[in-house]
C-alpha cells in the first residue's frame, strides 16, 4: 500500500476532496501546516512599518491507497490542486507496510 | 435660565449610555459574524460614530429638530439655518422645544439625538457583512443619513407630519430608528446580493461570548435610549425604565422557549437575540404602556422574531445578522402594540394638554384610532426608507463601489478591505502554541492562489 | 407628589448599573470556566435576567417589600396583594417606604430591587459549572428565588425580623445577597457532586482577559449596587461610594500579596478575584463605616478569600468558580465587620430617630451588641439558604433533572445542553489559519465515540 | 450644608465612569499587545487601581488638593495634614473648594480625583509592555505617583503655580494627565530599552476586537472624565460633553483618512487609536471651546497622532503601544489649542470674576497671551515628569529590578512574571479542537531550552 | 526501524498513551488532524437552518519503534483506541531508514 | 528521494530554517505537534493547587530532499536544533518513491 501526501493551498481543499471522492477514495486525513518555499510570503504594513511574512498557511492531505490506484490518486490531487501559480505545493508518495482499521482490526486493503 | 441639575445630568448620562450602544452593537454584530469579517463589521459601526457625529452638528440637527419657518414645509423638514453649524452661540442658550421649564440646555438635547442618529445608521450594517466595500459603506451611510434618517427623525419627533399631524406615537424610536434601519437594510441587500456560500454554509457566530457581552452592553445603554427619551426625570421616565427591563426579559424568554421547543436546545445566541428583539419592540412603547403589557409585548416580540429570522431562507435575501428579522419585525411589533396598550395612566401627554394628540389604545377604550395611525406612520417610513436605500445602493453599484471581489470575500473582508485580521493568538505570538514559540506569524493576507496585498513572488 | 430629579436619576442610574453587573458576572464566570462550558455558564446568568425580572413584577416585589397586614406575619413575609402583578396604577403613584420626602417613585425602587434579585440568583451558578442540566438550573433558580431570596430580602430589608426586630445591619446585601447566594451554592453542589476529573485536572480559566473585564464591569456596576442602596443622594451615599472603591482596591492588593508570597507570582486572575472579594465584603458595610476601616475590611477580605478558595480541596466539595470561597466567606467578613466598625458618623440612622435600631460597632464604643446581631442574622440566612437549596436540588435530582450525562460533560456542556460552541476562530472561518481558508468548520458536537446530536452514520 | 442631588449624582456617576476607564484601558492596551504579554499589560493597570486608590486617601489627596498654610509653598505642594488619612470626620463635612454653593461633599471630589490619579499612572504602562519586571512596575508606579503626579496635580488644579499663578488652562487633564503620563513613558523607556526583536518584528495587536471595545469603554468613561471635571451640572458641563463627542469623532476620521491615503486601507486599530487621540486632545480644551473648534482640534489630533506614532521608528525608542505618540503628542495639541480657541462664551470663568485669570484665545481676540501660558505650563510638566521618571527607572535598574531576563521575554512575560497565560481555547479544553477533546493542556510555561517554572526533568 | 502512525478519536488518546507506556514506549508525538471517512460527520442547526459538518476532529499519534516491537505497538494502539464505533481510525506502519536523537546525535535504536 | 522529518523545540525553528537555507534547501513544511518523552513536562500551580503538564509543544519540520544531500540535511538539522538539554527531539529519514510539483506536474528531483 501507499501513502499519498499532498501539501496544497487551503482554498483548493474542496476541489481535491471532490476529485478524490470521484475516484472512489473513501477517506482522508487533513492537517494545518505552514509552508516555506519559492513563494516568498509577503510584506505587511502595521502603523506605517513593513514586515515580511515568510510562512504561508497550507493544508496537508494524507490518503492511504492501494498500490494499483496510486497513480490515479496522485494525478487527481495534482490536477485538482493546481492553480498554476507559484506555491501550489507538492505531492509525494511513500510506501506503507501495513494498515489496520482500528474498529475491526482488519488489515491491508480491507482496512481502507 | 436656571438649569435643572437632575434633568440635565440624566440627559447627559443617557447620551453617554446611547453612545456606548454603538460599540456594544459592534461587538454584538462582530461576534455574530465569521471571524474573517469581524473587523469590517465593527468598523462599519465605528465609522458611523465618526461620520455622523460631525454631520449632526453641521446640518443634521437643524434639519431634523429645527423649526422650518414655513409651517407647511415643516411637515417634511426642519430648519436650514436655525442650528446650522451648531448655530448656538454660547452657554446662555436656552432650551427651546419644551420651554424653559425643563431646565435642559439645547446642546444636551443635540448630543442625545446625535447618538440616536449614529446607532440608527450603524444598525443597518448587520445586514451586509462580509461583502460590501468599505468605501461604499461610507458613501451609503452618508447618503442614507442625509436623505432618510434626518427627514424621518423630523417627521416623527421634530414636529413633522407623523408626530405632529398624524399623531402616531414613537417614544424612543420604533419607527424612526428600528423600522427605518430595518427597511433600509432590506433595500440595501436586495441590491447588494448574497454572500458567497449562502445559504449553503452555516455562517455561525465566531465568538458567542462577544455576542452576549454586546447584548449586555446594548441592554445597559438602552436604558438611556428609552428612559432618556423622556428627557426629564418624572414618573413616565420611570415607567420607560421598568418597561424596558421587563419587556426585554420577557423577549429573552420568548425566543429561548421557541428554540427549546423547535430545536430541542436553548442557546445563548438565542437569549442575546431575544433580548435585542425585546429592546427593539419596547422602544416605541416604553413611555406609553404599563409594565404588564410590556411583558406581553416582549414575549410576543421574542417569539415572533425567533421565527422571523428564518424568513430569509424562505424568501431568499441574505440578511447576514438578521437586521430585518429583529429590528424591522420587532419595530413593527412595538409600533403596533401602541394601538392596543397606550394609556394616559402612564403618559399624561396622551390626550393631554399640551399633549401628543394621540388616543388611548384599544384595550384602554380608545378604539382602533391609534392602531390606524401607528400603521400609517410605520408603513410610510418602511416604504420611504426601503426605496431610498435601494436607490442609493443602486447608484453606488453603478459606480462599482458596492461589492468586494469574490476573491476578497473568500480571503476575508478584514484583510481585503482593512489589511488587518482580528486575532493573533494560537498560531502566532501566544505563549501556548508551538508556532507561537517558533515565532511564526500568521499570514494576514492569504496569497494562496488569490490576489493579495503587496505579495512578493520570487523565482 | 414632587419628584426629586437628582434622587430619581441616581436610583435609575444605579438600577442600570446593577443590571450591567449580571452580564459582567457572566463574563467573569465565563472566562474563569473552561471554554467548553463558557456558554452554559453565561446562559445561567442570562436566564436569570429573563426569569427573575418577570417574576419580580408579578409576585417577588410584593412578597419582599410589601407590608403584610399581620404585624407578626410581616416578620417573615411581605404582602400577598399590595403590589401583586405590579399593583401600582400609574404615574401618580407615590413613594411609600420612606415617605414622600425622598421624591422617588415606587417603580424606581421596584426596578432597583429587581436587579438585586437577578444577580443574587445568578451568583449561585458559578459553583455548578460544566455539569448541571440547564433545565434543572431553571427550575432551581425559580424555586430558590421564590422560597429563599424573596423571604430573606423581606427579613433583611423589607421590614422582616432581621432588619426590623434583630436590628442586624446590611447596607447593600452582605447577608441578603452574598451569604445567601454562597450558602445556596454550597447546598446545591453538595447534592450535585463534583465535575469529572476534579480535583485531578486543573480547570484553569480559558480566557483571563474576560475575567478581568468581567471584574471591571462588576466593579463599575457595584457603585450602583452599593451607593445606590442609600436610594437618595446624600452624605452617606458618598461614603458608600468611596468605601466601595477603597475596600475593593485594598482587597485586590490583599489577594495579590498572598499569591506573591505563597506562589511566588501575582496573577491577574488573583487581582480580579480579590477585587470581587473586596466588593462582596464592603457591600453590607459601605454605608456604615468610614474609609480607613473600609481599607482594613478590604485587605482582610482579599487575603482571607485568597486562602479560603483552597478550602474546597481540603473539604472535598467542587465549588467550580469559588462562589463559597469568595461570596460566602467575603459576605461573612463584611457582615461581621459591622460589629466592629459601624458608626453613626457615617450613617445617622444608626441609633438615630427614625433609625435602624442598630448600635455603634465595638471600636466606636458600642460594645459587642452589634457583632452579636450580625452573627445571628448571617447565621440564620446561612442555615436557611443552605438547607432549602439542598432540598430543592434533591427534589430535582430525584426527578433526574439535575445532572448531565458523563458523555455530555466530557463532550462539553455547551454542545450538549445548548448545541453551540463559543468560538469559531482558528480551525474555522478566520483568515489566518489554513483550515479556515479551506472552509473546514469545526465540529461543534464531537461525535467521536460519544452520543451526539443528530449524528448521521453511513456505511 | 444642603447637598445638591443633581450635582452630587453627576459627580459620583462621573467618578464611576472614570474608574471604568482603567479596565477599558487595560483591554485596549491588552488587545494591542501580543498575546503572550496581555495579562501583564492588564495587570499593570489593575495594580494601579489597587495601589493608587489606597495611597490617595492616605496622602495623595491632601498633598494635591489640600491648601498649604504657606502661600509660597502652596505654589508647589498642598497640605501635609488637611486631609491626611482621609482627614474628614463624617457626613457633616462640607464642600470646601468652591464654597457651599455647589452642594457637593468633599468625599465626592476626593473619589473623583482618585480615579484620575489611577488612570494617569496606568497610562504609562502601555510603553513598557513585554519586558518590565512586575515588581519594578509597582515600585515605579508608587514613586512616580508620589513624586510627580501628586505635585503636578497640585500645580495644575490644586492651587499651585501652573493653574493659580501662570493661569494656564487645563479643563480635565491635558497637562496634568496626558502630557504628564506621556513624558513619563518616554523617560521610563529610555532607561528600560527596547523589546527583543524590535523593530524587526511586527508586534501586531493580538485581539483587535478587544482594542475596539477598549476604545469604546474609554470613550464612554471619558464623558465622566471631561464633563465631570466641571464638577457641577451647568452649561459648561454640556459643552464639555458635546465637545468630547465631536472632537473624538473627528479624530477618528482624521486618523483613518491618513491611513487610507498613506497605506491604502483604513483599519479598526486606526479608528480606535484615532478616537483615543481625539479624547486626549479635547481633554484640556473641552470646557473652554465651542463645538466647531472642537471638531477642528479633533481632526488635527487624529491626523497628527497617526503620523506621530511612526516617530519611534525614526528616533529609535520602543514605545510599545504608542503612549508618547498618542498621549504626549495629543496632550500637547490639546493644550496649545486653548491658546487659539479658548472663549468665555463657553466658560464664563475665563476672564471672569471669580475667574481663572486666563485670557481668550488668539481667534477670540485674546492675542498670544494664553498660547504662551499653555506652552510654559506644558513644557514645565514635560521636563519635570520625563526627568523624574527616568531617574526613578534608573534607580530601579541599578537595583536589578527593572527588566526581565531575555528568556522570560521570549517565553512571554505572562508566564514568566505571572505564571498564567491568557487563553486556553484551541489546543486545550475547548469543544472544537482535537487536542481539546483529548484533554491535552497547553503548556503554560515552555520548558523548551529555556529556564522555566518548576520544571521537572527526568532521566 | 519503523514509524507507527495512528489516526484515532480524541477521547482515546489517554488510553493509547497508557497502553504504549505499559509497553515501555518512551516517547511519542501527537498532532491535531481532521478526518473524513465512512463516519459521515453530522448536521448542525443554527437559527433553524441545517448544516452538514463533514470533517471530524481526530488525533494523529506517531511512534518511532524498533522493528521487533512493531507488532506489539500496533496491537496496543489498535486495542486501546477501539470503541467499536465507526470512525475509530487507522493505524499504519512505514519503514524508517534512520533516526537521530538531536540532543546527543545518537543514531538508530539508541536514539529512541 | 528522501523525506527528512524533525521534531524540534519551537525556539530552534529559526536556526533550523537558517541552516537549511544555507544548504540551499528551497522549501520546507512545518506543523505544530505535542511531544511526550523523557522530558517530562512540568507542574503548574493554579489557586494553590498543583497540576502536571505532560505534553510539550514541539515543531515538526518536513523536508523533501535528494538522496545525495540527505546526510547533509540531517546533520544541519541536528546541529542547529541542538540545545543540549533533554527534549531536543528526533530527526528521522524515510524513503519517498515520487514527488510531484503541483504547479507544473514536474516529477522527481525537478519537483523539489
Ligand atoms: N523541499 C521541500 N520539502 C518539504 N516541503 C516543501 C519543499 N519545498 C516546498 N515545500 C512545500 O511546498 C509548498 C510550495 O512550494 P513553493 O516552492 O512555494 O512553490 P512551488 O511548489 O509551486 O514551486 C511550500 O509552501 C512548502 O509547504
Ligand atoms: N484512505 C484513508 N487515508 C487516510 N486516512 C483515512 C483514510 N480512510 C480513513 N481515514 C482516516 O480514518 C478516520 C476514520 O475512518 P472512517 O472511514 O470514518 O471509519 P472506520 O475506520 O471506522 O471505517 C477518518 O476520519 C480519517 O481520518
Ligand atoms: N519514540 C518516539 N516516537 C515519536 N516521537 C518521539 C519518540 N520519542 C520522542 N519523541 C519526540 O521527541 C521529543 C523529545 O524526546 P525526549 O525523550 O523528551 O527527549 P530526547 O530526545 O532529548 O531524549 C518528544 O517530545 C517527542 O515529540
| Pocket around ligand 1 at a 6 A CB cut-off | A 7, 35-39, 56, 58, 86-90; F 26-29, 62-64, 101, 103, 112
Short-list F46, D420, F44, F48, CA closest to C314: F48
Q: Once rounded to an integer, what is the mean pLDDT over residues C291-308?
A: 97
With the C-alpha atoms ordered C408, C411, C414, C419, is the resulting torsion angle positive or negative?
negative
Short-list C432, C429, C424, CA closest to C440: C429
> Which ligand 3 atom is nearest residue E27's CA?
8
Dist. CA C113–CA C149, nearest whole Å = 12
- Mutate which of F27, F65, F72, F106 for ligand 1 pocket (most atoms within 8 A of beta carbon): F27
- pLDDT-derived band at C424 (thresholds 50, 70, 90) equals confident
Mutate to test the interface with F, among D440, D449, D459 (most CBs of F within 10 A): D449
- pLDDT-derived band at C99 (thresholds 50, 70, 90) equals low
Residues 6+ apart with CB under 8 A from B109: B11, B65, B95, B97, B231
- pLDDT-derived band at D425 (thresholds 50, 70, 90) equals low
Residue B32 in grid coordinates: 455574530
Residue B369 in grid coordinates: 384610532
- What is the structure's pLDDT at B452? 29
What are the C-alpha distances in Å from C269 to residues B106, C127, C206, C266, D42? 46, 17, 11, 9, 11
F34 touches chain A (CB under 8 A): no
Q: Once rounded to an integer, what is the mean pLDDT over residues C93-111?
A: 73
- The better pLDDT of the pair F53, F70 is held by F70
> Which ligand 1 atom is nearest residue A36's CA?
25
- Residues C28/C218, Cβ–Cβ less than 8 Å: yes
For residue C82, how many other CB atoms are within 10 A of its CB? 17
Map grid coordinates 447618503 to a residue: B143
- What is the structure's pLDDT at D260? 96
> Which ligand 1 atom is nearest residue A33's CA?
27
- What is the structure's pLDDT at E61? 96
Nearest C-alpha in B relative to E54: B201
- What is the structure's pLDDT at C85? 83
Dist. CA C302–CA C300, nearest whole Å = 5
Residue with CA at minimum distance from ligand 3 atom 7? E27
> Which ligand 2 atom is nearest residue A103's CA?
22
Between CA D196 and CA D207, with CA D201 as vertex, the angle to 5 degrees is 100
Chains that touch A (3 or more CB pairs under 8 A): B, C, D, E, F
Residue with CA at minimum distance from ligand 3 atom 26? F35
The DSSP bridge pattern shows strands F90-95 and F2-8 to be antiparallel
Dist. CA D136–CA D133, nearest whole Å = 5
Dist. CA B266–CA C203, nearest whole Å = 25
Dist. CA B20–CA B181, nearest whole Å = 18
- The better pLDDT of the pair B157, C348 is held by B157
- What is the structure's pLDDT at B83? 87
- What is the structure's pLDDT at B82? 86
- pLDDT-derived band at C407 (thresholds 50, 70, 90) equals confident
Binary contact (A32, C433; C-beta < 8 A):
yes
Q: Where are the beta strands (DSSP E) in C225-297?
A: none
Q: What is the pLDDT of residues F16-29, one digit of tens each?
A: 999 999 999 989 99
Average pLDDT, chain F: 90
Average pLDDT, chain A: 90
Region of residue D133 (left: phi > 0; alpha: psi -120 to 50; beta: else): beta
> Which ligand 3 atom is nearest residue E25's CA?
1
Residues 6+ apart with CB under 8 A from B255: B270, B271, B273, B274, B277, B302, B303, B305, B306
With the C-alpha atoms ordered D114, D118, D119, D121, is the resulting torsion angle positive or negative?
positive
F25 CB within 6 A, ligand 3: no
- Mutate which of E34, E37, E93 for ligand 2 pocket (most atoms within 8 A of beta carbon): E37
| CB-side neighbour CA atoms (13 Å) of D150 | 25
Checking if the pLDDT of F42 tops 90, the result is no
Backbone angles phi, psi at B136, to 5 degrees: -60, -40
- What is the structure's pLDDT at D82? 86
Backbone angles phi, psi at D418, to 5 degrees: -125, 0
DSSP B356: -
Q: Where are the beta strands (DSSP E) in A1-112?
A: 2-8, 28-36, 39-46, 49-53, 56-65, 90-95, 98-101
DSSP A57: E
Backbone angles phi, psi at A27, to 5 degrees: -155, 165
- Residues in chain B with CB shorter than 8 Å from the CB of F25 are none
- Residues B345/C91, Cβ–Cβ less than 8 Å: yes
Q: What is the pLDDT of residues C52-80, one digit of tens each?
A: 999 999 999 999 999 999 999 999 999 99
Binary contact (A47, D199; C-beta < 8 A):
no
- What is the structure's pLDDT at C339? 98
Short-list B305, B304, B33, CA closest to B195: B33
Backbone angles phi, psi at A52, to 5 degrees: -100, 130
DSSP B207: B
- What is the structure's pLDDT at B383? 98
The DSSP bridge pattern shows strands E39-46 and F2-8 to be unpaired
With the C-alpha atoms ordered D424, D427, D432, D438, is the resulting torsion angle positive or negative?
negative
Binary contact (E100, F87; C-beta < 8 A):
no
The pTM assigned to this predicted structure is 0.92
Residues in chain A, how many?
A: 112
Sheet strand arrangement including E39-46: C455-457, E39-46, E49-53
Short-list B160, A88, B406, E12, CA closest to C448: E12
For residue D305, how many other CB atoms are within 10 A of its CB? 28
- What is the structure's pLDDT at B124? 98
- Residues C282/C248, Cβ–Cβ less than 8 Å: yes
- Residues in chain F with CB shorter than 8 Å from the CB of D449 are 9, 11-12, 83, 85, 87-88
The shortest C-alpha distance from A58 to chain B (Å) reads: 8
- pLDDT-derived band at D99 (thresholds 50, 70, 90) equals low
- Residues D220/B19, Cβ–Cβ less than 8 Å: yes
Checking if the pLDDT of D3 tops 90, the result is no
Average pLDDT, chain E: 90
Nearest C-alpha in D relative to E31: D435
Dist. CA D355–CA D121, nearest whole Å = 30
Nearest to A51 among D202, D262, D269 (CB): D202
A86 touches chain D (CB under 8 A): no
Residue C138 in grid coordinates: 431553571
- What is the structure's pLDDT at D432? 40
Dist. CA B122–CA D148, nearest whole Å = 43
Nearest to A8 among F96, F99, F102 (CB): F102
Query: How far, in Å, is the centroid of ligand 3 from the Cα of E28?
Result: 6
Query: How far, in Å, is the centroid of ligand 2 from the Cα of A102?
Result: 9
Q: Enumerate residue ranges in chain B where pLDDT < 50.
A: 91, 96-97, 426-433, 436, 441-459
Mind spelling out the 3-state secondary structure of B163-189? HHHHCCCCCCCHHHHHHHHHHHHHHHH
Sheet strand arrangement including B455-457: A49-53, A39-46, B455-457
Which of A36-40, E56-60, F7-11 has the least mean pLDDT? Answer: A36-40
Map grid coordinates 433609625 to a residue: C355
Percent of chain D residues topping a pLDDT of 70: 89
DSSP string over B45-98: HHHHHHHHHHHIIIIIHHHHHSPPSSTTGGGT---SSTTGGG---STT----TT
Dist. CA B7–CA B15, nearest whole Å = 12
The DSSP bridge pattern shows strands E98-101 and A39-46 to be unpaired
Nearest to A94 among F26, F29, F97 (CB): F97
**Three-state secondary structure call for residue A93:** strand
Binary contact (B453, A42; C-beta < 8 A):
yes
Short-list B272, B285, B158, CA closest to B217: B272
- What is the structure's pLDDT at B454? 29
- What is the structure's pLDDT at D440? 52
Angle E13-23/E70-81 helices, nearest 10 degrees? 150
Short-list B358, B352, B444, B256, CA closest to C137: B256
Checking if the pLDDT of C217 tops 80, the result is yes
The shortest C-alpha distance from F13 to chain B (Å) reads: 6
Nearest to D310 among A44, A47, A51 (CB): A47
F54 touches chain C (CB under 8 A): no
Checking if the pLDDT of D446 tops 90, the result is no
- pLDDT-derived band at C432 (thresholds 50, 70, 90) equals very low
Q: What is the pLDDT of residues D295-354, one digit of tens each?
A: 999 999 999 999 999 999 999 999 999 999 999 999 999 999 999 999 998 998 898 777
The shortest C-alpha distance from C70 to chain D (Å) reads: 37
Q: Once rounded to an integer, what is the mean pLDDT over residues C5-9?
A: 94
Nearest C-alpha in B relative to F103: B449
Q: What is the pLDDT of residues D187-227, one digit of tens each?
A: 999 999 999 988 877 788 999 999 999 999 999 999 999 99
Dist. CA E25–CA E28, nearest whole Å = 8
For chain E, how are helix, strand and coil distributed in percent, rounded to 5? Answer: 25, 45, 30
DSSP string over E43-60: EEEETTEEEEE--EEEEE
Residue with CA at minimum distance from ligand 1 atom 19? A87
Backbone angles phi, psi at B218, to 5 degrees: -60, -45
> What is the set of domains in chain B, with CATH numbers?
5-418 (1.10.3430.10)
Short-list C13, C1, C428, CA closest to C228: C13
Residues 6+ apart with CB under 8 A from B43: B134, B418, D266, D267, D268, D271
Give the ligand whose atoms come closest to the C-alpha of residue A87.
Answer: 1
- Residues in chain B with CB shorter than 8 Å from the CB of C425 are 35, 206-207, 422-423, 425-426
The shortest C-alpha distance from C278 to chain F (Å) reads: 18
Q: Once rounded to an integer, what is the mean pLDDT over residues A8-12?
A: 86
- pLDDT-derived band at C296 (thresholds 50, 70, 90) equals very high
- Residues in chain E with CB shorter than 8 Å from the CB of A101 are 88, 90
- What is the structure's pLDDT at F22? 93
- pLDDT-derived band at E45 (thresholds 50, 70, 90) equals confident
- Residues D131/D403, Cβ–Cβ less than 8 Å: yes
Amino acid at each position: 500500500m501507499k501513502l499519498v501526501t499532498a501539501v496544497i493551498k487551503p482554498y483548493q481543499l474542496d476541489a481535491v476532496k471532490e476529485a478524490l471522492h470521484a475516484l472512489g477514495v473513501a477517506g482522508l486525513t487533513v492537517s494545518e501546516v505552514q509552508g516555506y518555499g519559492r513563494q516568498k510570503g509577503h510584506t505587511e504594513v502595521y502603523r506605517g512599518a513593513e514586515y515580511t511574512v515568510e510562512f504561508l498557511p497550507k493544508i496537508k492531505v494524507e490518503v492511504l491507497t492501494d498500490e494499483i490506484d496510486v497513480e490515479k490518486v496522485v494525478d487527481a490531487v495534482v490536477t485538482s490542486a493546481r492553480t498554476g501559480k507559484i506555491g501550489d505545493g507538492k505531492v509525494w508518495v511513500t510506501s506503507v507496510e501495513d494498515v489496520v482499521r482500528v474498529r475491526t482490526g482488519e488489515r491491508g486493503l480491507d482496512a481502507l | 435660565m436656571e438649569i435643572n441639575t437632575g434633568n440635565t445630568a440624566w440627559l447627559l448620562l443617557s447620551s453617554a449610555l446611547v453612545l456606548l450602544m454603538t460599540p456594544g452593537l459592534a461587538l454584538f454584530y462582530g461576534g455574530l459574524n465569521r471571524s474573517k469579517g469581524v473587523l469590517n463589521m465593527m468598523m462599519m459601526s465605528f465609522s458611523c460614530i465618526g461620520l455622523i457625529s460631525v454631520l449632526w452638528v453641521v446640518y443634521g440637527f437643524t434639519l431634523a429638530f429645527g423649526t422650518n419657518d414655513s409651517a407647511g414645509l415643516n411637515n417634511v423638514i426642519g430648519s436650514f439655518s436655525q442650528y446650522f453649524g451648531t448655530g448656538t452661540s454660547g452657554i446662555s442658550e436656552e432650551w427651546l422645544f419644551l420651554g424653559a421649564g425643563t431646565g435642559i440646555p439645547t446642546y444636551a438635547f443635540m448630543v442625545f439625538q446625535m447618538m440616536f442618529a449614529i446607532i440608527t445608521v450603524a444598525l443597518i450594517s448587520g445586514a451586509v457583512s462580509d461583502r460590501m466595500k468599505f468605501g461604499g459603506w461610507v458613501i451609503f451611510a452618508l447618503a442614507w443619513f442625509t436623505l432618510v434618517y434626518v427627514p424621518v427623525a423630523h417627521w416623527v419627533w421634530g414636529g413633522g407630519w407623523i408626530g405632529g399631524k398624524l399623531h402616531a406615537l414613537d417614544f424612543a424610536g420604533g419607527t424612526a430608528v428600528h423600522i427605518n434601519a430595518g427597511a433600509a437594510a432590506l433595500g440595501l441587500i436586495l441590491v447588494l446580493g448574497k454572500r458567497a456560500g449562502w445559504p449553503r454554509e452555516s455562517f455561525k457566530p465566531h465568538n458567542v461570548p462577544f455576542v452576549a457581552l454586546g447584548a449586555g452592553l446594548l441592554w445597559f445603554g438602552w436604558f438611556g435610549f428609552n428612559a432618556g427619551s423622556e428627557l426629564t426625570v418624572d414618573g413616565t421616565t420611570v415607567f420607560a425604565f421598568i418597561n424596558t427591563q421587563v419587556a426585554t426579559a420577557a423577549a429573552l424568554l420568548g425566543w429561548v422557549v421557541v428554540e427549546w421547543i423547535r430545536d430541542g436546545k436553548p442557546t445563548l445566541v438565542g437569549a442575546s437575540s431575544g433580548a435585542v428583539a425585546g429592546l427593539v419592540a419596547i422602544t416605541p412603547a416604553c413611555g406609553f404602556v404599563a409594565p404588564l403589557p410590556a411583558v406581553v409585548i416582549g414575549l410576543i416580540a421574542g417569539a415572533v422574531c425567533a421565527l422571523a429570522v428564518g424568513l430569509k431562507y424562505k424568501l431568499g435575501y441574505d440578511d447576514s445578522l438578521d437586521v430585518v428579522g429583529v429590528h424591522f419585525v420587532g419595530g413593527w411589533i412595538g409600533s403596533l402594540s401602541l394601538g392596543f396598550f397606550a394609556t394616559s395612566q402612564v403618559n399624561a401627554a396622551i390626550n393631554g394638554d399640551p399633549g401628543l394628540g394621540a388616543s388611548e389604545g384599544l384595550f384602554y377604550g380608545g378604539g382602533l384610532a391609534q392602531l390606524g395611525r401607528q400603521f400609517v406612520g410605520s408603513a410610510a417610513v418602511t416604504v420611504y426608507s426601503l426605496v431610498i436605500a435601494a436607490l442609493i445602493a443602486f447608484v453606488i453599484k453603478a459606480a462599482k463601489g458596492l461589492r468586494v471581489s469574490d476573491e476578497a470575500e473568500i480571503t476575508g473582508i478584514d484583510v481585503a478591505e482593512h489589511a488587518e485580521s482580528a486575532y493573533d493568538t494560537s498560531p502566532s505570538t501566544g505563549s501556548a502554541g508551538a508556532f507561537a514559540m517558533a515565532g511564526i506569524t500568521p499570514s494576514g493576507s492569504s496569497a494562496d492562489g488569490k490576489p493579495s496585498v503587496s505579495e512578493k513572488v520570487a523565482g
